[in-house]
Amino acid sequence: MATHNLAAILKNPLHDAEYLLLKQTPPPKFGEDQYDSYVDSDLWDLPSTLLNLRNDHSHSAIVIHGAQSSQDIDLTKFDVQLALNEVLEKLGLQMNDVGEWSLFKYVEEAEFGPGGPVNTVFVMGKLLDGNRNCQGLSKWMTTESCLNWLLEVKLSNDRVGPLVVVALINDSLQSAAWKLPPTLHHQEYPPGVIILPMQSRTTKPFDTTNLVIFAPARVADTFGDCGFVAHGDALIVDPGCRREHHEELKQIVASLPKKLIVFVTHHHRDHVDGLSVIQKCNPNATMIAHENTMCRIGKGDWSLGYTSVSGGEDILVGGQRLTVIFAPGHTDGHVALLDVSTNSLIVGDHCVGQGSAALDINSGGNMTEYFRTTYNFLELSPHTLIPMHGRVNMWPKNMLCGYLKNRRSREASILKAIENGAETLFDIVANVYSGVDHSFWIAAASNVRLHVDHLDQQKKLPEEFSVQKFHKTWAPFFVRWTCAYLRSRCVKQKMPSLLITGTLAGIAGYLLGKKHALI
């Protein structure tokens, strides 16, 4: 189910092109210098707040012109007055500082997940006094000044958020040469970068993979011909949608310029399931991926030629430069892509919109490289992170430092369990993840193996702990986990003890017989 936001466009009575942007509150700090020294630059956006449903039937005193005739949303169901008061309070304003209100736009968010979309009601009002002192928390901006910040980025400059882009900028970019079929819900942020979540065979809590389409309005190419591994008029990243959505993907590819580049961050099925469609629709498209990724992509998915990258290469799309960033950790062939002009970083599965992605131990996932990549991303100082699952992240340094802190804290618990005598994989998992449902222990076990390797590399493990012996406890882990899992399920469902014993014996025997298949 969708939740709603209300965002206000407050115009300047002295300059019609100007509206107020509010300095956004950053996420809380960590209280540790090693993380708090990384600071995201100031972010400015339209003032907004949650728009709740009304819990009484009283008549609202606020009139929003144009709301009654809206086909898209029934504003009488919502407590608009409360939301407007909250928005104005953030700006140090009151209701009588503003003239009439009108409904400007209603925008339904695409299904990024997890959870339902957040739809936004944009209302417009005009301040009565244009000479108000904004006190550093708000500032007058025009679409032109916002575009300067968005498209000619300087590393530590202030930033402009997605609400103002969705409400006022996307529509004003008359030069956009290419448009998506209108039925496909998407987000364009920053301008020129389209993010379209499509249903995919990904893992919970997500259902979709973001297809990122980079099709900027063509600018004069000032770079010349040299030094680029590929040239194109459009680029798409990670076509990973399910078979049921291949028709939509076909429509997208058909509407894009023919000189197309397909960039694949890594080989997981939720990132490559649509490759064969592109191959059929546009056999001249240039595919770009890391060698290790190409080795794992089946020939059926992409049998045409490809360009192998390992990081540092530049790609030219519509006269704009994108740089390939080697980003191992999630897999050993994982690559990211930096859009240089907007300084936005397409991060593959290194970051996800909510929580953190598991590393794939069977495809070269590596904790040491994961940490290194995270620090590399921090050094790039991106203005935005675009993950392939979930929403765009507007506080990149905070998110990356959150990952570092969480992984370190998990690693410290693993080291403590080992120092307290845990020697096998099962003992460590049972100790560190004791409060977590047994069904998550398999993924946890891979995580523990990667952390133990990382601890070993840092020479932090106690001398008496044998990493070689530890690695041999992977198969016995499955047997012990199966017993623990079934026991916990049987207790929950009150199964008779004889049946439990019989089931356990059967499963354990089966697993022992099959242990090589499970490794």
**Least distance to Zn ion, CB of residue 349, Å:** 4
- For 144, 175, 307, the CA distances from 136, given in Å and listed in that order, are 20, 34, 49
- For 67, 221, 254, 324, the CA distances from 224, given in Å and listed in that order, are 51, 7, 28, 19
Phi, psi of 88 (to 5 degrees): -65, -35
Binding part of the chain for Zn ion, among 1-9, 246-254, 266-274, 463-471 by CB under 5 A, reads: 266-274
**Least distance to Zn ion, CB of residue 211, Å:** 12
**Least distance to Zn ion, CB of residue 389, Å:** 6
**Least distance to Zn ion, CB of residue 449, Å:** 18
45 contacts Zn ion (rule: CB under 5 A) = no
**Least distance to Zn ion, CB of residue 290, Å:** 13
Q: Which residues pair with 64 in a beta bridge?
A: 101
**Least distance to Zn ion, CB of residue 347, Å:** 11
Closer residue to Zn ion (CB): 331 or 482: 331
The string of DSSP letters for 4-29 reads EEEEEEEE-SS-TT-EEEEEPPPPPP
Binding part of the chain for Zn ion, among 17-25, 188-196, 347-355, 379-387 by CB under 5 A, reads: 347-355
- 412 contacts: CB under 8 Å, gap ≥ 6: none
The answer to whether the beta carbons of residues 433 and 441 sit under 8 Å apart is yes
Burial of 33 (0-12, 13-18, 19+ CB in 10 A): exposed
Closer residue to Zn ion (CB): 170 or 199: 199
Residues 49-108 binding Zn ion (CB under 5 A) are none
Q: What is the three-state SS of 179-236?
A: CCCCCCCCEECCCCEEEEEEEECCCCCCCEEEEEEECCCCCCCCCCCCCEEEEECEEE
Distance CA 170, CA 147 (A): 10
**Least distance to Zn ion, CB of residue 352, Å:** 8
Q: What share of the chain is helix, strand, coil (3-state, %, to 5)?
A: 35, 20, 40
> Which residue in 262, 297, 267 sits closest to 282, CA to CA?
262
Burial of 342 (0-12, 13-18, 19+ CB in 10 A): buried
Closer residue to Zn ion (CB): 331 or 376: 331
**Least distance to Zn ion, CB of residue 241, Å:** 12
> Which residue in 377, 303, 275 sits closest to 335, CA to CA?
377
Q: Which stretches within 39-169 are classed as H helix?
A: 80-90, 143-151, 162-164
Distance CA 134, CA 188 (A): 29
Binding part of the chain for Zn ion, among 77-85, 135-143, 217-225, 263-271 by CB under 5 A, reads: 263-271
Closer residue to Zn ion (CB): 270 or 339: 270
Closer residue to Zn ion (CB): 168 or 327: 327
332 contacts Zn ion (rule: CB under 5 A) = no
Binding footprint of Zn ion, residue count (CB under 5 A): 3
**Least distance to Zn ion, CB of residue 324, Å:** 17
Closer residue to Zn ion (CB): 358 or 507: 358
**Least distance to Zn ion, CB of residue 483, Å:** 31
268 contacts Zn ion (rule: CB under 5 A) = yes
350 contacts Zn ion (rule: CB under 5 A) = no
**Least distance to Zn ion, CB of residue 366, Å:** 14
Binding part of the chain for Zn ion, among 63-71, 261-269, 417-425, 453-461 by CB under 5 A, reads: 261-269
349 contacts Zn ion (rule: CB under 5 A) = yes
**Least distance to Zn ion, CB of residue 450, Å:** 15
Distance CA 124, CA 102 (A): 5
Binding part of the chain for Zn ion, among 137-145, 280-288, 346-354, 419-427 by CB under 5 A, reads: 346-354
Closer residue to Zn ion (CB): 233 or 369: 369
Binding part of the chain for Zn ion, among 2-10, 224-232, 262-270, 470-478 by CB under 5 A, reads: 262-270
270 contacts Zn ion (rule: CB under 5 A) = yes
Closer residue to Zn ion (CB): 246 or 268: 268
Residues 399-428 binding Zn ion (CB under 5 A) are none
Binding part of the chain for Zn ion, among 3-11, 76-84, 270-278, 500-508 by CB under 5 A, reads: 270-278
Amino acid at position 17, single letter = A
Going residue by residue from 210 to 249, which x/- string records binding to Zn ion, judged by CB under 5 A? ----------------------------------------
Binding part of the chain for Zn ion, among 79-87, 246-254, 303-311, 348-356 by CB under 5 A, reads: 348-356
Phi, psi of 351 (to 5 degrees): -125, 150
The answer to whether the beta carbons of residues 328 and 364 sit under 8 Å apart is yes
Distance CA 230, CA 263 (A): 11
- For 51, 188, 244, 287, 317, the CA distances from 181, given in Å and listed in that order, are 29, 14, 17, 24, 21
Q: Which residues bind Zn ion (CB under 5 A)?
A: 268, 270, 349
